[in-house]
Amino acid sequence: MSYSDVESIKARINTGLTDDQIEAFLDDAEIMMDSHGWTVAIQEDLDDPGDELATIHTYLTAHLIEIAEPEIRSDQVQNLSVTFSRPTKQLGEWLKNTNPGRTLARLLSTFGLGEEPDRTAPKTFR
């Protein structure tokens, strides 16, 4: 049972993935939610957890897609060139690497399921 859908993901992030590829990430996110116990914990906490589970599923999926698709942006003016990229993965910084991940961390903390991300971490530009 998928709590979210392809359109919800596309509304939150830009991705070059096909709908079928996004569906695979939706499946992975659902497995992760279940394996971390988030689904059961939220279902036990709320009478009608549908919207909350959909939101968490959406942001987890968006986060997984963003860490799987490294973003590289380059700009050049005359002889000066600058390249920015987002790291693909960093252990211990799992949710802090993407905007959807940071949003997910805040959502999880409202259910006592995760920690608020470190606000002193360096800011990235997107």
The tens digit of pLDDT for each residue in 15-27 reads 889 999 999 999 9
Percent of the chain with pLDDT over 90: 30
Helix (H) or strand (E) holding 71: none
Which range, of 67-71, 75-79, 97-101, 113-117, averages the lowest pLDDT?
113-117
The tens digit of pLDDT for each residue in 54-76 reads 999 999 999 999 888 766 556 66
Predicted confidence at residue 20, as pLDDT, reads 95
Instruction: Name 30's Cβ contacts closer than 8 Å, sequence gap at least 6.
Output: 1, 2, 3, 57
Predicted confidence at residue 74, as pLDDT, reads 60
Predicted confidence (pLDDT) at residue 102 exceeds the cutoff of 80: yes
